[in-house]
Structure 1
Amino acid sequence: MRLTKPTYLLFIICVFLGTTFAQAQSDKQKQLEARRQQLKKEMEQLNSLLFANKKKEKNVITLVEDLNYKVSVRKNLIKVTNDQANLLTRDINANQKEISELRDQLEELKKQYAAMIVKSYKSKSQLSRVMFLMSSSNFKQAYKRLQYIKQYTDYQKQQGEEIKAKTLKLQELNTQLLKQKEEKQKLVEENRIAKKELEAELKEHEVLMASIRSNMSKYNAELKQKQKESDRIDKEIDRLIKEAIAASNKKAGKSTSSSSFALTPEAKSLAASFQANKGKLPWPVERGIVKMRFGKQPSIIDKTVAVNSKGVMIATEKGAKVRAVFEGEVSQIIVIPNANPVVILRHGNYMTVYKNLSKIYVNKGDKVSTKQDIGEVFTNKTTGETLLYFRVYKDSKLENPAYWINKL
């Protein structure tokens, strides 16, 4: 059968759309798999950093914080795995349909090919090709008969090749289908285990929350005291940043009341370089997970109360080194009674703050390079927690660290 031009164009469009759709499905599956592996890695780190040391006695609020985070990651992992399984189901159904259609086409091709072979055999027994040509009434008829024989032979060969190609494709699809079914079964089993673990975590979470609700005044008092201590350090950080801005402006002969740094050409260049690396800066610790993000968020024990986080809180491992996220200068080292040291680095008119350190490796005025160790994170001996509080400022204004640090 010969296709007309409109039919041929429609056929080409259908093939193109089918190929595009299949590629989109494949790309989506790759994205989901990458996200699933990322979440699995995060879950491993979470278990290692927050739940490995069971001998340490964390307070109830810390336990709820950690469990909240774990439940959130677990739910995301279940959702992504479920999305993958659903996408595989669609792929499996599409392949099963294509296999069924291919089998029908192959059956029809084989029937046509068999009929053609029989016809060819009968033709040979009744009249040889030479006699068929010689019996032509003129040269033109002989030429046409020769062309017919050639086309018939080519068509037989084409049919044979088509049967071979469709058979191979059918075998490939069957292999692919078997692999997809195995992958789906693996994902379904992973989700079954994850849902069981989530159920246990939610029960534990409810027990902890019941304990908190039974003595809400006590835990609210604990949170207020913790916030008060944090505010005391934050006020000192804000004061020293304002002092640094004022000193910069005074040196440049500008108003000391300005909230922005007066920059030298060198500082401008450094600030521009820092800005150019937005979203690509390294983590301030080599290994860690974000326990608290930037901005306002509801309190874990009282959803009506908002907690304003000025940076991010990163849980890391004991003895973790603190790294400069970019080259710059040590602007301040803050040591406050009854609090752990803080290091402030300056990068032109940008500042990065590293809070809750146990050791300091640098001095005020030192030049530092990207990823240079500047100290060590403090580990609470009672709870076993190792937490770094990290911030980014542009002049005196707070920035969301997630916009600056790669994959934060």
Structure 2
Amino acid sequence: MQLKLKLKYTLFFGLLLSSLLAVAQNDKQAELERQRRALMSQIEELSKLRQSNKKKEINVLSQVEDLASKIKTRENLIRVTNSQANLLTQKINQNINKISELRAELSKLKEDYAAMVQKSYKSKSSQSRIMFLLSSESFLQAYKRVQYMKQYSNYRKKQGDQIKERTTLLQETNTKLIDQKEEKQQLIAQNKREQEKLEDEKKQQDALIATIREKESSYAAQINKKQAEANRIDREIDRLIREAIAASKKESGATTTSETEIKKGAMPTFALTPAAKALANDFASNKGRMDWPVERGRVYKKFGTSKHPTLPNITTYNSGVEIETAPGSVARAAFKGTVQQVQLIRGGGYTILIRHGNYLTVYQNLKNLKVKVNDQVSTKQALGEIAENSFNGKTILKFLVYKDSERLNPEDWIYNM
């Protein structure tokens, strides 16, 4: 009896543990599937943009950058798909073990049930049951025997139900195992296709890199020229921000603050009204959760200093993030605020500065504007159409974030950028 109880408890806790593991693995599998679909969507978007760019005269440097981005995304897709396949392997092995345990349990239940049926058969006649009751030495004993017969009958029914339940669970686990094996084969087949595409893209990249290296000095000069132009535009934007800060101080009557800041070597800061301070706090509290400044797009160039993917001796700096999107797309406000400045900057199209207390978001390379200075804008409100980049012909929005006169990394502020 103790052995039976021990076996039941062992099986119960084993099934409970496997159920908890299954829940955790299902959550992980769902997250991996979300990542896989997101990466496939990114690759599809990159393919569309690249197809669109093929119709234009896109220079070799831009082609290499496009391919590098696509290769990196595809490598991530392969990694995530491998993780899914490995997780499925674990689940398959767990279900194989579960099937083995269920079969052993079912076999034991059937043995016990068969023994009970055999025992019941020997004493199944109504005469033997009556004799069993009549042979009681007292009314109390007869009552106990009636209760025993009822319990015996209930226990037999319970065993029959357990056999049905375990049989159903075994069938369901077998079906799940077959589905998991099929899903794993599909993932392996998909990974094989992605590996083939990756190899093809790397060959294309190698051919383009060889072309670049033949004229390395010429391409390096192009990159340096582009960086010099970007630096000039950055200085112009910094000037506009300093003017806005000076205007805020003049309005508040804090005419000597900027001189004090200069003496202390501190960055100039906005003078804030209570309403502006509340808006700034609202902006800061939404860090990492703000909407993208375009409806659809991908980060073409990240914030900060980076080495060129094919010319390792070349280092570039980006004051914001450059977002590539489809031709005809519009820039939209990442957060509510007031249009502080609209400026046409040579080489950078129209630039819009939106103020959010002592924070600013900057939208560069626009045309066909939809807002003007002092307009109150809401989150996601259209600001203007994004123009083609003069250097590479792509539709690119440059997006910057400032706190007072300090540049911040936009990727820290926009959700999932």
Identity of aligned residues (%): 49
CA contact (8 A) 2:227 2:316 kept: no
For 1:21, the aligned partner's letter is L
Per the alignment, residue 287 of structure 1 pairs with 296
Does residue 178 (structure 1) correspond to residue 196 (structure 2)? The answer is no
C-alpha distance in 2 between matches for 1:333 and 1:381: 20
Q: CA deviation at 1:57?
A: 2.5
C-alpha distance in 2 between matches for 1:213 and 1:97: 57
Per the alignment, residue 272 of structure 1 pairs with 281
C-alpha distance in 1 between matches for 2:291 and 2:338: 17
Q: CA deviation at 1:375?
A: 1.0
Per the alignment, residue 331 of structure 1 pairs with 340
Q: CA deviation at 1:188?
A: 1.2
Q: CA deviation at 1:179?
A: 1.7
Does residue 97 (structure 1) correspond to residue 97 (structure 2)? The answer is yes
CA contact (8 A) 1:319 1:379 kept: no
C-alpha distance in 2 between matches for 1:96 and 1:289: 43
RMSD: 2.3
Q: Deviations over 1:123-181 (max 9, x none)?
A: 23596201111122333443343333223222211110110100110111112112212
Does residue 212 (structure 1) correspond to residue 221 (structure 2)? The answer is no
Q: Secondary structure at the match of 2:231?
A: helix
Given candidates 363, 369, 372, the residue that maps to 1:354 is 363
Q: Secondary structure at the match of 2:339?
A: strand
Using the size of structure 1 for normalisation, the TM-score is 0.93
Q: CA deviation at 1:21?
A: 1.7
For 2:202, the aligned partner's letter is L
Given candidates 256, 259, 283, the residue that maps to 2:258 is 256
C-alpha distance in 2 between matches for 1:45 and 1:246: 43
C-alpha distance in 1 between matches for 2:233 and 2:120: 96
Q: CA deviation at 1:267?
A: 1.2
CA contact (8 A) 1:245 1:261 kept: yes
Per the alignment, residue 165 of structure 2 pairs with 165
Does residue 131 (structure 1) correspond to residue 131 (structure 2)? The answer is yes
Q: Which moved more, 1:342-351 or 1:149-158?
A: 149-158
Q: CA deviation at 1:190?
A: 1.1
Q: CA deviation at 1:235?
A: 0.8
CA contact (8 A) 1:50 1:385 kept: no
Q: CA deviation at 1:373?
A: 1.3
C-alpha distance in 2 between matches for 1:276 and 1:58: 41
C-alpha distance in 1 between matches for 2:299 and 2:352: 20
Q: Secondary structure at the match of 1:341?
A: strand
C-alpha distance in 1 between matches for 2:355 and 2:287: 16
Per the alignment, residue 22 of structure 1 pairs with 22
Per the alignment, residue 117 of structure 2 pairs with 117
Using the size of structure 2 for normalisation, the TM-score is 0.91
Q: Secondary structure at the match of 2:360?
A: strand
CA contact (8 A) 2:348 2:364 kept: no
Q: Which moved more, 1:264-273 or 1:388-397?
A: 264-273
Per the alignment, residue 67 of structure 2 pairs with 67
Given candidates 296, 307, 310, the residue that maps to 1:301 is 310
Q: Secondary structure at the match of 2:290?
A: coil
C-alpha change, 1:351 and 1:106, in structure 2 (3 Å) is same
C-alpha change, 1:59 and 1:373, in structure 2 (3 Å) is same
Gap regions ≥5 residues in structure 2: 262-267
